[in-house]
Structure 1
Amino acid sequence: PVGTIVHTGDFKLDPTPVDGQTTDTDFLRQLGDEGVRLLLADSTNVERPGHTLSERCVGETFRQILPGCRGRVIVATFSSNIHRIQQVFDAAFSSNRKVLVNGRSMIANIAVARRLGCLAVRDSQLVDLQTFNGLPPREALLLTTGSQGEPLSTLTRMAAGDHKQLAIEPGDTVILSSKFIPGNEKAIYSLINQLYRRGAEVHYETTSEIHVSGHAAQDELQTLHCWIRPRTFVPVHGEYRHLVKHAHLARQSCPDCETIVLGNGQSLTLDTETAQYGPEFETGRIFVDGRGVGDLTGVELRDRRHLAHHGVVNVILAVNQKTGSLLYGPEIFSRGFITEETGGTLLQEAETAVRAVLAEHSLARITDWDELRVEVRKALRRLFNKKLDRRPLILPIILTL
């Protein structure tokens, strides 16, 4: 073996964790004393100075909010955050509220956590849907997922009025107890606006302390580096700027530590003496389509996107290749563009435009039918752009007999 490798995963140094199990600092110091060949550490909050707040701060906020709520309380959070879920149940118990757990992942994770003794929940606290809907509003709390505005989540459907069994009522309080993941802001704020339209009061990370990060800030990262003192450090879990800044922070804490920043797909070759860049591997999105994995091309995706936005127009005609006479068509029909009911006149104009293109060519002398398809496509594109300012996918199908 080349030595000890330490990978932190997502971490922070919480002095007052919900379950009372603090970080084993003696063990980490011992690892550093014995020598660590490589440290890979969480970089997400490297831009934040100081120390990440304790998870218990969220529980205190819950206990402040719930007693003043005159209606039902709906709490949305990540189903993997068992400590957060514990604090929801604790606050519900102290405010005499029964809890309905909703969402497959939430139900499954709570069941596993209770079975392992990681979550203390009284059976009397839990109710089913029918009982929940019959409770006085001041005695009801719904615990669910959907804090990121996921379109099919229970909370989003409740906000839109699309849920058959649960609804947002005026006076309800909704708590989004999670971070706004970058890229989800539009969906989340749309959800919040819909909740307010239905008369709910909404608490989220920019208005209340209903979320604290699970990632270490600068002071905690420096403490970790001083404990571990690795020979080589590789920052992980963050955008590239986070990795670079974490490498800089590590050099400040441990001047003798070698730092290596790896991009996505870049490997590291490690032995007892050296650490260096290894071969690169292809990374990124892999599209799954039915039973096909990774076989979708950029052209196919572009065509699907075009179809989704603009629709498709098919032009079918048959030509006697010897005489040049038109045997069938042109027949024009569309999907996702216009219908005969709404655009019958335009389809007639499109047929006229195609006939005009055919009239300009001696069909009996054509050797390159692809050229004729291009001309038909151009003529229809000009027509549709002029009339509707739209650009459907145009597929001329010319049968030669």
Structure 2
Amino acid sequence: MREISVDQVKVGDIVAEPVYDDKNQRFLPRGIKLNSALISRLKNRGVLRLAIEGENPDDLVVNAAELLAELEHRFEDLVEDAVMMRIKEIARCHLIPGAEPVAEIVVSEAGTGIGEEMVESPSASDQADLRERVENATNLPSLPDVVFHINEMVDDPVTSSRQVGAEIARDQVLSAKVLKLVNSGLYGFSRSITTISHAVTMLGFDAVKSLVLGSSVLDLMSGAIPGLWEHSQACARTCGLIANHLEMSDPEEIATIGLLHDLGKVVLHKSLEAEYRQVFLRVKKADMLFYKAEEDRRVLGAGINHGTIGGWLLAKWTLPEKLVEPIMYHHNFHPDLKYGERTALVQLADVLCRAEAFGNGGDRKIPRLQAQILETLEMDMDDVEKIMGQMHESLRDIPRVKPGLE
């Protein structure tokens, strides 16, 4: 079985998994052989990707070879970091079926390798000027009116999930987007969620609110950086895996943080075009990390990156601090953050998704796991290996891609 875009479908292909349209209605069952009429209807019904039976062995070999070469390139600056080398070795074994680790890698006692240095905080003037531009951007989707009503309702302790669901359901397009995300595999529900009120009950007010807020912006992710949407989905689901492994409360809410963690890249692409162009050129020319290019004093400024930008926008949209802070600081972790555990979790999920090549974060490098991340989460490398094994098994529907900017 392989997942392909609807534009790659050919007459005679056989559907491997049930197909749902953009309104989350089941459109085609498993086992149907596609003809030209069905392919046309797939496109008309808003289907973007679907699973098709069969694989091309030659393509898989080439793809595996390319991914292994990219893996070497991605980690080439991290050879002195025991933790990152262990992560690389686990990912390598997932790309080569049946492979075993080539050697035992000794991990430092703290289990955190060398760790990324904490960056200095952005200057007040740099931050104020840039934040004003982000908050006043006119080419981002406007905040749906329903959000203002939801804010009032969520603050009322007597509000029920049915009432919140009814408010969201007033906007049919928005409802369809929320249900599509809820049933996308993001939260790992075993049965389909068919109503907004059910979604609110399962996810909680804040998680659904963040989905509502981000749904219109998420449509822009693929247009900003090819593969960013897939990376965001993978990060969300990995956040959920880690949260469940640690038996944290609200794993669905934490998964939603992962879904929106790179929202700032979309804002940068759409509303700060000159700065995005500078980031693009630096990433391509110097083969550097996307967020490091952003933090150049000649671009966004010291300590300011897409996490900061995404956090500003979400704060303006009145998301609670427990969702905003992990997004804002997922590249600049500090142990004394109010929501340090969640922030550490998002950074770990991001690093693991990049190591496993799920989607595209916009560069060909991988961030070094910052010092104290694993210590904050009370995890060791055995825990990390278990999580990566779960990712390898449960994220098969998300393509592994060659990263970078085009």
More helix by share: 2
Of the two, which has the highest radius of gyration? 1
Q: TM-score, normalised on structure 1? A: 0.24
More strand by share: 1
Q: TM-score, normalised on structure 2? A: 0.24
